[in-house]
Structure 1
Amino acid sequence: MDNQNLQANGSSPSKSQNKEILQANKNSAFGLQNKKILQESMEDPDKNLSKVFICHRLPERTFKVGNRYFPVCSRCTGMYIGAFSYYIFVYFVYVQYNTTIILAAVLMILPTFSDGLTQFFGFRESNNVLRFFTGLIAGVGLGILVKSIKYGLLY
């Protein structure tokens, strides 16, 4: 029974059904769809590859407002908001990039890495709120790294 049928019946899937749905999504939706998009893009170089490399967009890992899902998952939403917020911050406040700040940025990415890795290997199941906040922290860290690379190249 797939996720849409469960939602139509008004019931929620069990843990084993969730795992089956996730595995099916990984195998079919992500893998086959992206292979098809990559193949089409090789045949037509003007094809937009942004659908492949932005996010997996699994519905159960995406925030939903009303009947509409966000265009990216909760972790990526946090990362985009975090990075964008950092860029706004450094627009108004000068930041001197040094080794300490770069090390702090790398450490800010570790919670997202460990959350994703432990979930990937099946040690535990994460939730959207945790994904969002670890993504938010990582977004700030990635923003720092990008700005420090830019700063290092220009100055």
Structure 2
Amino acid sequence: MDSTKLWIKLMDIARKYWGCHQFPERSFFFRGYQFPVCARCTGIMIGYIVSIILLLCKVFFSWKLSAAFLLFMLIDAGLQYQFGVMSTNNRRLLSGMLFGIGFWELIACIIRSIIL
């Protein structure tokens, strides 16, 4: 499969299963190809991976810190949506990463509180 067909397939998968808007101005590019997901969704995916690694290494955050990580992205996205305050792709990436980490760490907090 050539790179263009692979790129089209990845874009379709991301749109269909991840639900990303894929706006070019809110996405990163590599060698002329747009990432299949926007900067914020890229960050969320990276955050999920980082969180899994942290959890496997038995690194746990408090529920308050996890919630703060979630709020950072919600505030960034909310300011952009509600008031037109433009975010940058780097800030979207960071807020997405924090959200991804905070999400799974918060799930881990809930599971630990049920089990312990």
Match of 2:35 among 51, 58, 70: 70
Q: CA deviation at 1:52?
A: 5.6
- In structure 2, what is the Cα distance between the partners aligned to 1:65 and 1:153? 43
Q: 1:138 to 1:94 in 2, by over 3 A?
A: closer
* 2:80 maps to 1:119: yes
* TM-score of the aligned structures, taking structure 1 as reference length: 0.58
3-state SS of 1:83 partner:
helix
CA radius of gyration, larger in: 1
Report SS of the residue matched to 1:134.
Answer: helix
Q: Secondary structure at the match of 1:121?
A: helix
Give the count of matched residue pairs: 104
Q: Structure 2: where are the runs of 5+ without partners?
A: 1-12
2:94 equivalent among 128, 133, 146: 133
Distance in 2 (CA, whole Å) between partners of 1:51 and 1:154 is: 36
User: Deviation per CA, 1:47-86, whole angstroms, max 9, x where unpaired?
Assistant: x9x7165322111111111111111110111111112111
For 1:82, the aligned partner's letter is G
Are residues 1:145 and 2:106 paired? yes
Q: What is the distance in 2 between the residues matched to 1:147 and 1:57? A: 30
Instruction: Write the mapping of 1:58-97 to structure 2, written as runs, cut at 5 A.
Output: 58-93=23-58, 95=60
1:57 aligns with 2:18: no
The C-alpha deviation readout for 1:67-118, integer Å capped at 9, x for no partner, is 11111110111111112111112112254xxxx8112111111111111111
Q: Relative to structure 1, is the Cα distance of residues 105 and 91 closer, same or farther in structure 2, using a 3 angstrom cutoff?
A: same
Distance (whole Å) between structure 2 residues aligned to residue 75 and residue 60 of structure 1: 12
Q: Which has the higher contact order (CA 8 A, sep 6+)?
A: 2
Structure-2 separation of matches of 1:109 and 1:102: 10
CA distance in 1, matches of 2:42, 2:86: 19
Percent of aligned pairs with the same amino acid: 28
CA RMSD of aligned residues (A): 2.5
